[in-house]
Structure 1
């Protein structure tokens, strides 16, 4: 089990800020820095042997990357963030659902 955990740690060692902010890319004469939301997780477990089942162990992991937008040169020499509209909409779905359920609960409680 220790070997499996060690290999998972090695696999996720390079995940972090370097994954959220990508290497600068030249596109259309502009230098763009991609920005993403990076999330990952992993876990494992084991069970001792019993009368009706043998001992067992297992684990797994997963993650996702959501491209949020890019940092690009703005007017006047500054840098501006240009959001990815599809990612913004996807990110707002849980917020809208939570607000809707909260309002429903509040209105239902007032009856």
Structure 2
């Protein structure tokens, strides 16, 4: 089990800011830097009582969600341009939660 944990630790050593911000890309004469939400996790366990280690296991997973890009505008200022699909995907739960809260407040007022 210790070897598996060491292997997982080595695999995720380079995960961090370098994964959230991609390498700069030249597109249409401008340089863009992709930005993503990066999340990962892993875990392991064993069923106690067996000295041979039978019953142990583990798993992991990750998510990369493209948020947008940083680019320079015509004035040379650095600006963030969001990915419209990601923006919509993030706003849908927020709008649903706000709608449910408003509905609950209106029902309570009656």
The TM tier, using the shorter chain, reads: 0.7 to 0.9
Across the aligned residues of Structure 1 and Structure 2, the Cα RMSD in angstroms comes to 1.9
The TM-score with structure 1 as length reference comes to 0.85
Shift of 1:55: 4.5
Residue 29 of structure 1 and its aligned partner are, at CA, apart by 0.4
Partner of 1:73: 72
Q: Secondary structure at the match of 1:14?
A: coil
Q: 1:39 — aligned with what? A: 39
**Displaced runs of 4+ in structure 1, greater than 4 A?**
none
Cα distance in 2 between the residues matched to 1:21 and 1:38: 9
Instruction: Count matched residues.
Output: 108
Give distance in 2, aligned partners of 1:106 and 1:12.
45
User: What is the distance in 2 between the residues matched to 1:30 and 1:76?
Assistant: 13
* 2:62 aligned with 1:92: no
TM-score, length basis structure 2: 0.86
Q: Give distance in 1, aligned partners of 2:101 and 2:56.
A: 40
Q: Secondary structure at the match of 1:56?
A: coil
Which runs of 5 or more structure 2 residues have no equivalent in the other structure?
Answer: none
Name stretches of at least 5 consecutive residues in structure 1 with no aligned partner.
none
2: distance between equivalents of 1:101 and 1:59? 38
Aligned to 2:3: 3
